[in-house]
Structure 1
Amino acid sequence: MDKKIGVYVCTGCGIGEVVDFEALSEIVDDEYSVAVCKSHPFLCGAAGVAEIKKDLEEEGINAVVIAACSSRVNYDVFNFGPAVLVERANLREQGVWSHQNPDDDEDVKENIQMLATDNLRMSIVKMENMDPPEPYAAEDLSKTILVVGGGLSGMTAALEAAGAGYQVVLVEKEAELGGWAARCYKLPPLKPPFRELEENKCAAIAQEIAANPDIKVYTSAEIQSTAGGPGVFDVEISQNGSVARERIGAIVLATGARPYDPERLGHLGFGRYANVITQAMLEEIAGKGKITRPSDGKEVEKVAFIQCAGSRDAEHLPYCSAACCVESMKQALYVKEQNPEAAVYVFYKDIRANGQYEHFYMRAQEAGVIFIKGDVSCINEDDGSLSIEADDLLMGEKTAAEELDLVVLANGMVPSTLAGLPAEVQKEVAEQEAAATAEASEAVAAAEQRILNLKYRQGPELPALKYGFPDSHFICFPYETRRTGIYAAGSVRAPMDLPSTIADATGAALKAIQCVELTAQGSAVHPRVWDFSYPQFFMQRCTQCKRCTEECPFGAINEDEKGNPLPNPTRCRRCGTCMGACPERIISFKNYSVPMIGNMLKAIEVPEEDEEKPRILVLACENDAMPALDMAGINHLNYNPWVRIIPVRCLGSLNLVWIADAMSRGIDGVLLLGCKHGDDYQCHFMKGSELAEIRLSKVSETLDRLGLESERVRMAEVSITDYDQIPGILDEFAEKLDELGPNPMKGF
């Protein structure tokens, strides 16, 4: 693209009071081929925008550099259509607002001017190095939604997607739809006033699905293979010995959960005493009519429920299974409906009847259900009757329930993605209180039950995260998994009750719809929505090192038989992790590349050593670090003016050549500022920050060998809400560099 660049500098919001536009304009004219360089006191106002549009029409400007506020604001105002490239230089939040000069100090003013100049230089250089993205156009694109799992979450997702006008394929491994919920005698309340039990309507929902012409149902069926990516998934479905093939746009995984193996709860009497049963077993008994004890068919008169039977237990499931408390209250009311005089006890650690279910909790209390906050220490049987001993945590004494006809264990739920795991691997996963270790994750990946049978180099199933659930990012992006276009919903994503399951399935269906629509336009899907770029590979220099295929967090790159990368553009989320991983630097985007960032940092003016004005390069991720930096500026928090900030899509896109270039330029230090990662990770591209940290360890070794202090390159993690820590992080790093002295390569 032949660019005709126009540079527009806003002097409002205090910028013009500190920054000398004439000096900026002179540098722009002397150093760059720019057709227009203008200032305006209110660039985002109607007059300012009209001025730019006038130049677009009359001067033929097709590349606009806006030197004003952050690119995170007024992005709609400065959108001039796909034919016009736009780049933003931040002179406000990361300029005059974060480097105040209350005393009109000339040295401070000079520092701010130099900062504004460098920010503008970097933006112009970036514009010179970018080309307009060309959306990826997939062939034979589909917008059909595949829902895997025909339980309550799967049926809800199918109906919601069909109701929005999309074709749906629903696959259920059992002979009938409904899943676990369909086997329940009754359901807890799903609507106000949230007090009374509801009749089970799963059969009616299944009939509604059967009558819907937009939903194709496969029962007694399983997914044999899933290839391709969003918009172009090719799915093979095996059913009764035959194989059907469907072209799919996006997938909702709604395979639910199963009860935790009660055989492992022998310490609570299961397997030893016939009258110790699970919640699922009680549902089956209630569905047959009267609730009787299994040992002799006697109608129950005295029942105890034990909550967290395996849940919230480091030896079993360290997490809360979410629905157990409400289910036990529901079943306690079964007993009370059958016999209002029956004695019903609930032994609990904490009652978790969230939200509107507080009304249901009160209903159970009013019915006479006795709740005891206590740890069960012993269960015994005498002539078919059971007794429980427990520590009453509220009263601070021992308590007991004797002559019980039935004990019901709330044995929690395990995601179906772990349903095929052997007991020893389940135990290994369950014992990870914070998150599964790398070894446990590998064990899960090796042994997990096959559901989707993905034809991905990175594995046949969704990566299992905390406790084996396949959710990808519980903080910012619910429903998403680490496989683009595949969305988890319901209890396979996280333990949840029925109302949450219904809402979850609706959300996942909407995400799937968003995915197929964006894919049809050639856009990335979350978090870089409306990014039309995608990675392009210069294969002539590829060494088949496999780093791009190994490090891609989303499985967007397969390999051919010779080990060459096979990118799948519709799977790609445009994070650039592959670009950062490639040692040969053969991967780039039209508007983001290794040479582009390299040229931007080379545009920074590095003063001589005797000027005592060090330079700090900050490579900041656009998802958390850049907003945090902007928030620091909005709150007028001052930090060191030596800092020069280059936004990157993700720290996972960090290529080590950038640090080498910075050091050789004489820049005194490089700070990588990215999302948090770890047990409760925040990284928007899942593994970007973690990969950057691994690469940084290699940089340290290289710097030490070159005689440069490894402390000159550092990484810090921030979330958006950590903006108040930004000045401390930057100033502390500047102080450390001051102790180390100037970069010895300065001036070479």
Structure 2
Amino acid sequence: MEKKIGVYICTGCGIGDALDIDALSKVASKEYKADICKTDAFLCGKNGIELIKADIEGEGVNTVVVVGCSSRINTDVFNFGSDKIVERVNLREQVIWCHTNDDEDTQMLAEDYVRMSLAKLKNLNIPEPFIGENLSSTVLVVGGGFTGLTAALESAKAGYKTVLVEKEDTLGGYVGKMYKQIPTKPPFTDLEENSIPALIKAVEDAGVKVYTSAGIAKTDGGPGMFDVTIAQNGSETEERVGAIVLAAGAKPYDPEKLGHLGFGKYENVITQLMFEEMVAAGKMEANKVAFIQCAGSRDQEHLPYCSAACCIESIKQALYVKEKNAEANVYVYYKDIRSNGQYEHFYKRAQQEGVIFVKGDITDISESDGQLTIEADDHTMGTKSEADEFDLVVLANGMVPSAALGELIEEEAAEAEAAAAADEPKVTVPPIIKSNLLNLEYRQGPELPSLKYGFPDSHYICFPYETRRTGIYAAGVVRAPMDMLSAMEDATGAALKAIQCIESTMKGEAVHPRSGDMSFPEFNMNRCTQCKRCTEECPFGAINEDAKANPLPNPTRCRRCGTCMGACPERIISFKNYSVPMIGNMVKAIEVPEEDEEKPRILIFACENDAIPALDMAGINRLQYNPWVRIIPVRCLGSLNLVWVNDAMAKGFDGVLLMGCKHGDDYQCHFMKGSELAEIRLSKISETLNRLGLESERVRATTVNIMDYDKIPAMLDDFAAELEELGPNPMKDFQ
């Protein structure tokens, strides 16, 4: 489109007092020939918005540059319709609030930001959304247990056609076998009747299409157009669905591995499920029962994690015994009682009923004449304790997600070895477990990646339910260990996420974290060398390959992170509003003073998910940092193309800093492995810099989370000090 550019500079919030506004206007109108350049003291107010709208309607402005506050705020205020380009220049949080006012360096910084935004417009165009053919608004739920039934019911109640697939011949899953349930409503002290029969009836009454004794033979396509083949009783049926909720549940940890606790050795050492079935069948006659918590859980030799529901379930089962015989002796041996939230009331109820809780480690279980004896280290008393004549010992043997039950696919390891041999970027790839839950027709494997402890939850901090396959949401104990109340909430949340995905796909919009983004990657196949970098590095399986290794993009799977764009050595991948030339123009627009002016320049590529918010917060808190920095936001450090670093060094920048999300188990990159990939790519460019006579220390990567804002000034100042020791970039003389 032919752009008519209007630049609007806000002088409020102290901007007009801190900067030379006339000089900023000259950058826009003289240097970059903006069609209109105006100022206003309150641009986000009624008069300011009317000023812009008047130029849109009367002067034909279709590209609006708002020079004022952060692009992270007032997004609704500065929305002038999908047919208008709006570019934001942050002079408040990242200039006047974190640098000295009425200062030469601060003024130069502000002018550079105006230049960068106007240069960016040269290659920026309005995105055209991808709308797939024959889009479906049906929700598929895989798993007919408590979580799956709840998710299916909530989807149907919201007005969406819903399909439920259960591998067993009856619905209900693990919970369906329970005698009674833990409390799910106030006062959280009383056992409840099993809710599964009523839940099944509600699902049937809501019109949910149910397949039992069935499994997913194949899942092809992407959000809005998943083509799912359901195998049932020797026949196959196809369903087109818009989004999928995986609620395949978990299995109890194999008790055969708990011989040290007497299972398999003594007949009266049983598991929680066996005890539940015994009570439901009316065969529980024991009057002295011990419940052993963390039987396999929180144990590096078995399950390293807490299985979350075991404590509450054991308290429930202890109350079974007390309900049958109030004089019965009931012991619970535990490491820590984890009765989260309202379940503290349930724990206290058990104490009031006379259940004895012993904090200690089991050292021995023995049997004599059918009676069991337990020896334990009592942590409360600091002594060894011994209790005997138990009729039953019940092991809380934890849970293993269904997604982790299966065989490792060896092809993944072989592929990683091949990449290493070819000197390709080597990034941590989660193993794929052949668990036959979804059987995805994805290049990246037939199931969801198996993350920590085998759970497929992709981003537990910011995006619960989300997996690394767009449009597929995990819920319940397949996602994370949890109790029934949490699973109920989880099922509802996942169903709502599936609905959100369907609605976004119908409009051609991306889902989290770039919700509402209508761009998608475009491929200039004329220059493709079939290197497969884009397909291998895409975190979400959004790109398959044909037989000749040509990329086959699946736009509805794409989350618009740009990792493929950063991966491509030929730079054939771009978005209409985000591309390699666009960012390159921003780098080249920055003015780099001559060496004798002693004004170094540091370029920062900052991830929009954590680094940019952290930089904004530094400004909000009026934290001062080095004015030599120039910040370019990027969608994800995974989108970083190394040509930008080359351009910066050739331009004469003294240093380049990449600021991305933290990655690892304690905090995760919003696009899963973008910052990790950036660090790998950076290791490649270090060799090039050294060959050019440029110290590799001039370019580095760091990770931050949003709460690191108070550390950012020292981080930037320290980098600037190191660059001063290195001296100016020798390339300054060759600009």
**Which TM-score band (shorter chain)?**
over 0.9
Are 2:729 and 1:743 aligned? yes
Partners of 1:407 and 1:25 in 2: CA distance: 80
CA contact (8 A) 1:471 1:493 kept: yes
Are 2:672 and 1:681 aligned? no
1:694-709 maps to which residues of 2 (within 5 A)?
A: 694-709=680-695
Secondary structure of the residue that 1:93 maps to in structure 2?
helix
Partners of 2:313 and 2:733 in 1: CA distance: 72
Residue in 1 aligned with 2:411? Answer: none
Partners of 2:224 and 2:290 in 1: CA distance: 51
Residue in 1 aligned with 2:471? Answer: 485
1:67-146 maps to which residues of 2 (within 5 A)?
A: 67-101=67-101, 109-146=103-140
Partners of 1:112 and 1:442 in 2: CA distance: 44
Are 2:188 and 1:197 aligned? no
Cα deviation digits, residues 25-70 of structure 1 (max 9, x gap): 2222232131101111111111111111111111111001111010
Partners of 1:96 and 1:575 in 2: CA distance: 30
Residue in 2 aligned with 1:7? Answer: 7
Secondary structure of the residue that 1:178 maps to in structure 2?
coil
Residue in 1 aligned with 2:228? Answer: 235
Residue in 1 aligned with 2:416? Answer: none
Rate the CA distance shift 1:442–1:261 in 2: closer, same or farther, 3 A: farther
Residue in 1 aligned with 2:336? Answer: 350
Aligned amino acid, residue 135 of structure 2: L
Residue in 2 aligned with 1:47? Answer: 47
Equivalent of 1:568, from 536, 540, 554?
A: 554
Equivalent of 2:156, from 156, 159, 162?
A: 162
CA contact (8 A) 1:441 1:465 kept: no
Residue in 2 aligned with 1:512? Answer: 498
Equivalent of 1:176, from 170, 177, 195?
A: 170
Residue in 1 aligned with 2:441? Answer: 455
1:80-479 maps to which residues of 2 (within 5 A)?
A: 80-101=80-101, 109-213=103-207, 215-291=208-284, 299-421=285-407, 444-445=431-432, 447-479=433-465
CA contact (8 A) 2:246 2:472 kept: yes
* Structure 1, 27-36 or 372-381: larger mean CA deviation: 27-36
Partners of 2:325 and 2:42 in 1: CA distance: 76
Partners of 1:648 and 1:198 in 2: CA distance: 52
Rate the CA distance shift 1:217–1:548 in 2: closer, same or farther, 3 A: same
Rate the CA distance shift 1:726–1:335 in 2: closer, same or farther, 3 A: same
Aligned amino acid, residue 119 of structure 2: V
CA contact (8 A) 1:682 1:719 kept: no
Secondary structure of the residue that 2:645 maps to in structure 1?
helix
Partners of 2:224 and 2:20 in 1: CA distance: 51
Rate the CA distance shift 1:444–1:16 in 2: closer, same or farther, 3 A: closer
Equivalent of 1:671, from 654, 657, 662?
A: 657
Unaligned runs of 5+ in 2: 409-424
Partners of 1:607 and 1:700 in 2: CA distance: 25
CA contact (8 A) 1:159 1:209 kept: yes
Secondary structure of the residue that 1:52 maps to in structure 2?
helix
Partners of 1:74 and 1:638 in 2: CA distance: 24
Structure 1 segments (4+ residues) deviating >4 Å: 438-444
CA contact (8 A) 2:602 2:628 kept: yes
Rate the CA distance shift 1:201–1:649 in 2: closer, same or farther, 3 A: same
CA contact (8 A) 1:441 1:464 kept: no
Partners of 1:227 and 1:119 in 2: CA distance: 45
CA contact (8 A) 1:418 1:444 kept: no
Residue in 2 aligned with 1:426? Answer: none
What TM-score comes out, normalization by structure 1 length?
0.95
Aligned amino acid, residue 686 of structure 1: M
Partners of 1:43 and 1:334 in 2: CA distance: 67
Secondary structure of the residue that 1:177 maps to in structure 2?
coil
Displacement, 1:747? 2.9
CA contact (8 A) 1:151 1:181 kept: yes
Displacement, 1:549? 0.3
Secondary structure of the residue that 1:590 maps to in structure 2?
coil
Cα deviation digits, residues 473-507 of structure 1 (max 9, x gap): 00000000000000000000000000000000000
Partners of 2:63 and 2:527 in 1: CA distance: 31
Partners of 2:449 and 2:179 in 1: CA distance: 35
Aligned amino acid, residue 377 of structure 1: T
CA contact (8 A) 2:6 2:37 kept: yes
Secondary structure of the residue that 1:731 maps to in structure 2?
helix
Aligned amino acid, residue 73 of structure 2: V
What TM-score comes out, normalization by structure 2 length?
0.96
CA contact (8 A) 1:15 1:92 kept: yes
CA contact (8 A) 2:431 2:451 kept: no
The alignment's C-alpha RMSD in Å is 1.4
Partners of 1:735 and 1:460 in 2: CA distance: 50
Secondary structure of the residue that 2:39 maps to in structure 1?
strand
Residue in 2 aligned with 1:430? Answer: none
Unaligned runs of 5+ in 1: 292-298, 423-437
CA contact (8 A) 2:187 2:345 kept: yes
Displacement, 1:440? 14
**Equivalenced residues, count:** 718
Partners of 2:583 and 2:356 in 1: CA distance: 66
